[in-house]
Homo-oligomer: A and B are copies of this chain.
Amino acid sequence: MDTENLVPAELRQLIRTGKWQDPTSGVCAGYVQANLVILPKEYAFHFLLFCVRNPKPCPILDVLEPGIPNPRIASGADLRTDLPKYRVYEHGNMKGEVSDITEFFNDQMVSFLLGCSFSFERALIRAGVPVRNIEEGKNVSMYITNIECEPCGPFHPPLVVTMRPMSPAQAVRATQITTRFHLTHGAPVHIGEPAEIGIRNLSKPDFGDPVTIKEGEIPVFWACGVTSILAVTSEDIPFVITHSPGHMFVSDLRDEDLTIL
């Protein structure tokens, strides 16, 4: 199957009918993929405000009214069935990983779709900037930093970042390119010295895989959507559903729809 050239509606149909259960990296090239968070409505105002206050890690692509599972950014889609894998948490403990959340969804549930870095990675590659995790066929390196997010109500995680190594000149170019993608994390949050943001060892990421850092390269850090997952999987939140890592929602938006320039 030519998965790179699937259109999103086709992929969602495959997922909904149980014919696709894999990660979505590299699928439907050029279309925006999203992180999913579903919360009870009593937490919705504070979580929406948390995202508004922290737009770099939590760029809002779509938020739906309570009980509505149909995103505005994907025609005919249903968030209860159209992701390959979900995780269900109670008070921060993962209770299960499922391929359909219809039984958990009701008129109290509010769904959030947040930008992910796949969009800007394609733009970097087109510009000749290396994306080492893709070159090496790995998951991107992610680290929990000592940077506090702007808190809101029960949501107060540290900022999680992704790291991509590159030359200083490429870091400048990557900053220009990702500035355009303000709805998929935007410009880097840090360049260079990892210790300054509380990262002790680049070869031991908190999530994902370590990647090769070549001679003369510096680490470039972007805010990461996993920040939102840390925010909602705390013991203060009785119930939450998220996508499973790498198993994203694929929308009808194109990467270029998200650029500011």
A residues engaging B (CB < 8 A)?
41, 44-46, 48-49, 52, 60, 63, 65, 72, 150, 152-153, 179, 182, 260-261
Contacts and interface: CB of A to CB of B under 8 A. Distances in A.
B261 A179 contact: yes
* Copies of the protein in its oligomer: 2
Contacts of A153: 65
Given A260-B179, A261-B179, A41 B45 contact: yes
Identify the interface centre among A65, A153, A179: most chain B CB within 10 Å of its CB: A65
Contacts of A261: 179, 261
A52 B45 CA distance: 12
Contact of A65 (B44, B60, B152, B179): B152
A150 B65 CA distance: 13
Contacts of A72: 150
Contact of A48 (B45, B65, B150, B179): B45
A168 B46 CA distance: 44
A22 to B, nearest CB: 32
Identify the interface centre among A52, A60, A153, A182: most chain B CB within 10 Å of its CB: A52
A64 B139 CA distance: 37
A48 B41 contact: no
Nearest to A51: B52
Nearest to A150: B72
A234 to B, nearest CB: 18
- Of all A-B residue pairs in the complex, the 9 with the closest CB atoms, nearest first, are A45-B45, A44-B45, A48-B48, A49-B63, A52-B60, A260-B260, A182-B260, A179-B261, A52-B63
Contacts of A49: 48, 63, 65
